[in-house]
Amino acid sequence: MDEIRLSVDATNELSKTASEAIQKAHEELDEPDADPKYTVHLGKAKGIIVGDNARQWNTFWELPKTVRRLLIVLLAGLLIAGSSFAVVRWVVPMFAPVYKTTFLIDAAEGDLASVTGALTTVIGNSGERDSQSLRSFGGECGSDENTTQLVGFGTGNRQEIAQAAQSVRQGTKATLQRGIVEAVSDFTTPFSLNAKQINRIIVVTRHGKDACDPDDEFVQSQIRDRVAAAGLSIEFRFIGYQVSDSGDELTKLAAQLKQQEPAFTDSPEELKRVLSWFTTIEPVLRSSQSVVNVLNPTVDKLNSATEAIKSGRFDLADAAMTEARDAVVDFEIKDLDGRTSSAEAVRLRDMAVRLRTLQASVIEAAEQLLGSARSGRNLTEPLAVYSKAADAYNAEAGNMTDELTSLRAKGPGGTG
């Protein structure tokens, strides 16, 4: 009987999986009159070649039944491998959260009730699409129980976090280093979805240094190295609440991690305000500022393009309009839609939506102006329409920038 060779491309992962399926099917071929062995040749895919008698089958149904069976197994393997790859590569990331936030609270000696009370109050106003978790630290040095993840990452778990915060047990020593190291590790567990934008650890501590290791520089180095090893960009927000020392070591730790300075608070009310700022207001500011940063440059270029249109440089106008059309802020506005638990968030969300609408009007006016210029018509009226649309956009952009500046001044380190 002729030697039959099946060629598949073994240079990619899908074909390697498929070739394994071929090998398995090859071992199970049971044609009684066949030669003892079929040859499966893994190389550049060129189809099905029949060797000894130089015969070639041109259609699937002309092939022997055993070969058809082998090809079906091959196709099935490709479909399974391909669908699995597609799910991991494209479908799963669609469900990734915008923010992943771990609340790391100090359970060592001190006013634990105020810390858990502040978190319980604030967590209900956090973003509904955020993935959040809760971890505490505080206990005996060297103990596996001196830091504990109380609630794992997930969306829609705000009530669970609030309940878990109320059940945190008082610890003994402030095992700050191990708490942070393990909190970083929580972001890299198997099958963990990376945040689309921000990974954060919000640390609320009553101690400025680790109680189990007197070498502060070593502690800072250990934490910095663990963050680097995680391979993720993680933002830290440190809140020092009635810290038992000057807080210098906490400030040094933030500097080592290249993060903003800690916010120090003395009263439960101030703690609640600062924690609320980081949890609910800061993400609103970030998404709102992103809308301004994306849309403003496109309108500036369209303004310049109007001069180019007058000079007959239609190519410059085309390029400016293409860039303006590609400036999409739907993602940021969708994030703001999930953060409307405060008056500030509602106001900024509405301003962002208006800004997007006004930018679309500017693009439409620019297109009409360009069309008139190309047809040789008088540009007085379309220029007036464009100027009106651009002025409306610039006014709203100015209002939104003022709102962001005012709100930012009210945060930690601000002057409001």
pLDDT digits (tens, 9 = 90+) for 269-312: 999 999 999 999 999 999 999 999 999 999 999 998 888 888 88
The alpha-helical segments, DSSP class H, found in 101-245 are 112-123, 158-166, 176-186, 216-230
Overall average pLDDT of the 349-353 stretch? 97
From the list 99, 336, 88, the residue with the least C-alpha distance to 196 is 99
Overall average pLDDT of the 21-35 stretch? 48
What's the length of the chain? Answer: 416
pLDDT digits (tens, 9 = 90+) for 106-161: 999 889 999 999 999 999 999 988 999 999 999 999 999 999 999 999 999 999 99
The Cα-based distances of 74 to 3, 78, 79, 234, 276 in angstroms read 19, 6, 9, 43, 56
Highest mean pLDDT among 37-51, 71-85, 150-164: 150-164
The whole-model pTM stands at 0.74
**Pairwise CA distance, residues 34 & 64, whole Å:** 10
**Pairwise CA distance, residues 291 & 400, whole Å:** 10
Q: Compute the mean pLDDT over every residue in the chain, rounded to the nearest whole number.
A: 81
**Pairwise CA distance, residues 298 & 314, whole Å:** 16
**Pairwise CA distance, residues 112 & 120, whole Å:** 12
Residues 6 or more apart whose Cβ sits within 8 Å of residue 327: 294, 295, 297, 298, 359
**Pairwise CA distance, residues 332 & 346, whole Å:** 14
**Pairwise CA distance, residues 380 & 310, whole Å:** 11
CA angle 340, 346, 350 (to 5 degrees): 125
Q: What is the DSSP letter of 281?
A: I
In the chain, how long is the greatest CA-to-CA distance?
A: 91
Q: What is the DSSP letter of 338?
A: T
Over pLDDT 70: what percentage of the chain? 76
Quick one: pLDDT at residue 289? 96
Higher pLDDT, 382 or 53: 382
